[in-house]
Every structure is written in structure tokens, then in C-alpha cells.
A and B are shown apart, each in its own frame.
Chain A
């Protein structure tokens, strides 16, 4: 266990007094390494809360720069940062919040050539990206590298969150057990084409952050084997059972995917990570 400074004891006191966390759990968080794909709508609350929680190392990948149209929901950025790489903007916000956190930035696209090597250094992966090729790539890479993946997605007024860790949970599914293949180009509109309620990002992203802290600490019930669906218009959360699909092309009994696959980007609007 690490030796806390006086300041750390004060900063993390509300965690430390929780029996489920304690000094030991807080120490574990400070030694944890989390990798996030996307510093956008979902990545913003995830990065904020993980930084506040004292997750010791946060890696953030995003190839985009901050755009004025992001600020309606991507709360880790601000107006002065328009034009700045999102990963740099996120780093500045995180460091102002909590200097305990080491931020590693990846200001480029995650692809089949770099993803496995990058995630190998981390304990937990959080996907909040904005495109399907990256979602499938990250899922497959996590499967091959035996990394737990907390996946979040949102659209208009709806959110979906699930944890995938078939390496640790024998009956646990992967993302392809839910959606075996990416949708054909153009069949699923992007947020820039269809809109998104800004505060939805907070509702969905904070669920991802809560699950991340639980996975790092090994407490409570994992979301592995469940799909959370949030309907903001009805204000309803649903938790569905999500089984491993024996016919899954990646983790099923007769896998057809044995290496990373690169899918083409649907459109230029989705070129970034968030």
C-alpha cells in the first residue's frame, strides 16, 4: 500500500471511510491505470470522475480538436480550448482538478497497428468513442489482450452501457455477442447527423465511471453479462441479461475472427474519436 500524504488523506477521505474502499482501495486506485478511447461526451464525465477518484494513470486517445459544437455536452473542454487537441484540453482540466493523476495523451487514431500495444499497459479500458470501426477494434483488442472493457454509447435520448470481460467471467459476453458485425455504412446515423441531448452524456458516462471504479476495486456486482439501456425521454433504466453467444464470431465456440479487423469509416463526420 502507498503512503498517503496529509493532502491525499483529506482529498480522498470520503472514499477512505467507505468500508468497501478504505485506505487499501484508495491506494489501489492511485496505482491503477485506465485507458479511455474518446475525450468527448462520454469521455468527459469518465475522465472527470476517475481523476477526482485518484485513478493514478489515465490514458486518453482522441484525434480531434475541440470544436464549438462539442461544448454542449463535452464538459471537460471549454470555450478557450476551441481548436486545441481534445487530449491536451482534457489533460489541462484533469491536472487542475487532481495533480495526483498522470495523464498520458494519444493524439491520434487508435488503429489495428497500435491498439494492442497501447492497451497492454493498462488495467481497464473504457470506450466512449463515436464510431463503429473503433468500437469493434477496441472490443477485439481487449478480447485478445484479456482486458476488461467498459463500453458506453449514446444517441439522441438513449444510452447503452455494458462491461465485457470474457477472459475473467467464463460466461461473460463480448461486444460482438451483442452486435456481431458493424452496421453497413450509412445505416446508423452519427450524433452530428441526428443530434444528442447534452446531459445524456453525463448520465451514461457517470455509469461507466462508477463501473470502472468498481472493477478496479473488485467490489459489488459487475455489469459483465448485462446490458444497461437508458431511455431519457421516459426516464427509464433497463438492465437486460446479455449472454455469451456460442455463435459469436470472436468469442464463440467456432470463432472466425482470430486477428484484428479494420473496418472502413462510415463517413467523414465520424473521423474523430468523439
Chain B
């Protein structure tokens, strides 16, 4: 299905956020996921269903001060 990933249209297979992260090969321990302008709680990634047109952005963990 077609989603907006990090501001660009992208065709993906994964039906959930957990599977999307795996499909994209992302390191889960250093990111948060923005899902339609909300941070998707990490413990719910497996249940969070992705729909066509969803806007998903990867938020990188940063720690500089």
C-alpha cells in the first residue's frame, strides 16, 4: 500500500508499525515512530495497523546538549 514515509510517497507491504520497522531494516532501539502526528507508543507497534495514505515519520533518538 501507499503511505507517506518521511515526507515521501512509498509503497510498503507491512500491515503494522512493528512489521514496517522490520521491512525497512531500522534499528528499533534508536528511534521513535511518528504516526499521523502522534508518537506511536513502542509497546503498541505490533497492534498499530497501517492504512493507505498514513503519514509515518521516523524520529531519531538524539542526546546532544
Contacts and interface: CB of A to CB of B under 8 A. Distances in A.
Q: What 10 A-B pairs come out closest when comparing CB atoms?
A: A247-B43, A245-B41, A155-B62, A191-B64, A241-B38, A128-B65, A130-B65, A183-B30, A242-B39, A38-B65
B42 A188 contact: no
A149 interface: no
A188 B38 contact: no
A206 interface: no
Contact of A227 (B30, B39, B64): B39
Interface in A111-136: 127-132, 135
Interface stretch (A6-14, A40-48, A209-217): A40-48
A178 B39 contact: yes
A28 to B, nearest CB: 27
B39 A248 contact: no
A246 B45 CA distance: 12
A243 interface: yes
A274 B59 CA distance: 22
Interface of B: 27, 29-30, 32, 34, 37-39, 41-44, 59-65
B63 A131 contact: yes
Interface of A: 38, 40-43, 127-132, 135, 152-155, 158-160, 177-181, 183-184, 187-188, 190-191, 196, 227, 229, 238, 240-248, 252, 273-274
A132 B63 contact: yes
A236 to B, nearest CB: 10
Nearest to B37: A240
Contacts of B61: 132, 179, 183, 188
Contact of B43 (A241, A246, A273): A246
Interface centre among B29, B37, B41, B43 (most CB of A within 10 A): B41
Given A129-B65, A130-B63, A152-B65, A240 B29 contact: no
Given A183-B29, A183-B30, A187-B27, A246 B64 contact: no
A41 B62 CA distance: 14
A21 to B, nearest CB: 28
B62 A188 contact: yes
A248 B63 contact: no
Nearest to A195: B64
Given A41-B64, A42-B65, A180-B43, 18 more contacts: A38-B65, A127-B65, A129-B65, A130-B64, A130-B65, A153-B62, A155-B62, A160-B62, A181-B29, A183-B61, A188-B60, A191-B64, A227-B39, A238-B37, A240-B34, A245-B43, A246-B41, A248-B41
